[in-house]
Structure 1
Amino acid sequence: MWILLALTFAVGSPSPAVDASKLTLSTPATIVEIDTGKLKGDLSRLAWSPDAQQLYLQTVERDRAGNIKTARHYVLERGGKPPKGIESEPAWSTAYWSWKSTQAAPGLPAFKIDVEQQQKRMSGTSIPMGGDLARGGVDSGGSAGGAATGFGTGDAVSAALQSQMVNVFTLKLKGEVVGEFVNAPAMPGLTFGWAPAGTGLIAFANKDGRVIIMDDQGRKQEIASSKAAFLPAWTHDGKQLAFLERTGKNKAVLKIVDVTRPE
């Protein structure tokens, strides 16, 4: 699933860990609303440019086996304009994604995500974070879930009767589920994002779709008011965190949080 990073991320003395519980987080600022119906496909990548003035956004269309058949490329500016189509993914985005979505924290190879694969019986009332049975976080169709689905008692009974054996990929870190994919290929980086080397931090969307920041000691802090979130992405200096949030059918917003470390 993951390709090994260059040795520069695996050697050297690790920097002192940042205590996630002591970070100062701003209220998430809404930058732009995205009409996903116009972009075509599922939102699959969000990456910062080195100067933090642009974000790259990718959408993909997949075949029934989960393989990408079409990818489309866009850039977002800080000014709030709609995504602008471009010909291909920038080199800076490819480099960014290689450390943002890898299995271990940049510079901290021991801070590593465990991958579990199993088959289990699951009903529609379960709440995985990704996959065609998803009811929370992001499903394979890209819809927001949880309480917002209006999943009532009658639906729950019907879904329970329709339980089936499913293939589940679960990504775990420090006892936390940072990604779960049901009957769908695991997509590293969709539900989590490592902060840059020297921080020992990760941001992930939990099963309720809320963004959690956690350090290598397991200390955590939730971003207030976040919901139906996915694709968390840190700037290269670790001072800002962007993420997408589903707000309705074919609608998502880009939000950015300022992150200040304790002195």
Structure 2
Amino acid sequence: MVILVVAALQISLASPQPIAEVDTSKLKGEVARLAWSPDGSDLYLQTIERDNAGVVKSAKHYVISTAGKTIKGLDQEPAWAAKYWSWKSAQASPAAPAFRIDVRQREETIRATSTPTGGAMARGGTANPTDGTSFEEVANAANQTQKAIIFTLQVRDEKIGEWTNEAVIPGVNFGWAPAPLSLLAFARRDGGPLVVLDASGGKQELAGTKAAVLPAWSDDGKRIAWLERKDRKKYQLMIADIQMQ
């Protein structure tokens, strides 16, 4: 049992338990949604496939039994999963509207390669002052740069996710706890443990979690599920019991 302290809130997290392996080479596509059924007996999983432009072209639907640990295909997303996802991935906490995620945008110029533009010295040549940067080198360097549009999701001073030249998909790396809990769980997009934030500014990393994706609190707030990335195609669905005092 691991004891965690989030500001004035004390949380106990039981050892995470593996429920099922999720192999996207078999299920097809990238994982996109994870949602609890109201009674906590099932988890809905959605995978999506994109076209060459990155636009979603299809979605596949699955239900995973938390007891039987089986994965079954569905024809469509259950109504309960859509309802769950609407508050789980919202911009503000279901319990505290002022506890919210800000979306920030900036533009940066990035270099596609490390082509030097410092003339002969940058290329490891002589220090002859006549061997400066040529017009050709400047033109080549300009052709190898591009504008990057970067979207950042942030709660106060805490960055919870960043997307570069791609659409932000709410809920993929974060999940609100159900009311009346004013809590947010998130993980870095490049892989990391689950981190919990509370409305008062408290922050706590959840020991025993790693490479987490799609954190999802159960409707009663007593359990949390997530996918733990194993490799490029495989994940392990994990569930842990939590208690709050």
- 1:56 and 2:44 are equivalent in the alignment: yes
**Does structure 2 conserve the Cα–Cα contact (< 8 Å) formed by 1:232 and 1:241?**
yes
The 1:204/1:163 distance shift into structure 2, 3 A limit, reads farther
SS at match of 2:159: strand
2: CA distance, partners of 1:20 / 1:86: 42
- 1:219 and 2:226 are equivalent in the alignment: no
Q: Please identify the structure whose Cα radius of gyration is greater.
A: 2
1: CA distance, partners of 2:21 / 2:215: 16
- Give the structure-1-normalised TM-score: 0.74
Task: Spell out, residue by residue over 1:88-110, the C-alpha distance to the aligned partner (whole angstroms, 9 max, x if none).
Answer: 00000000001000000003111
- Residue of structure 1 equivalent to 2:241: 258
> Pairwise mapping of residues 87-102 of structure 1 onto structure 2 (< 5 A)?
87-102=75-90
SS at match of 1:95: helix
Amino acid at match of 1:91: A
Amino acid at match of 1:197: A
- Residue of structure 2 equivalent to 1:70: 58
Give structure 1 stretches of 5+ with no counterpart.
Answer: 1-17, 125-161
Q: How many residues align?
A: 208
- Residue of structure 1 equivalent to 2:96: 108
- Residue of structure 2 equivalent to 1:37: 25
The 1:167/1:64 distance shift into structure 2, 3 A limit, reads farther
**Does structure 1 conserve the Cα–Cα contact (< 8 Å) formed by 2:63 and 2:71?**
yes
Identity of aligned residues (%): 50
**Does structure 2 conserve the Cα–Cα contact (< 8 Å) formed by 1:105 and 1:112?**
yes
**Does structure 2 conserve the Cα–Cα contact (< 8 Å) formed by 1:210 and 1:222?**
yes
Task: Spell out, residue by residue over 1:161-210, the C-alpha distance to the aligned partner (whole angstroms, 9 max, x if none).
Answer: x7753221110012111121112100000010000011000100035521
- 1:172 and 2:154 are equivalent in the alignment: yes
Give structure 2 stretches of 5+ with no counterpart.
Answer: 1-5, 113-143
**Does structure 1 conserve the Cα–Cα contact (< 8 Å) formed by 2:93 and 2:176?**
yes
Task: Spell out, residue by residue over 1:8-56, the C-alpha distance to the aligned partner (whole angstroms, 9 max, x if none).
Answer: xxxxxxxxxx857521111211111111110111100000000000000
Amino acid at match of 1:198: P
2: CA distance, partners of 1:177 / 1:88: 33
> Pairwise mapping of residues 1-263 of structure 1 onto structure 2 (< 5 A)?
19=7, 22-79=10-67, 81-122=69-110, 164-206=146-188, 208-262=191-245
- Residue of structure 1 equivalent to 2:136: none
SS at match of 1:217: coil
Q: CA deviation at 1:58?
A: 0.2
The 1:120/1:99 distance shift into structure 2, 3 A limit, reads same
- Give the structure-2-normalised TM-score: 0.79
SS at match of 1:166: strand
SS at match of 2:98: strand
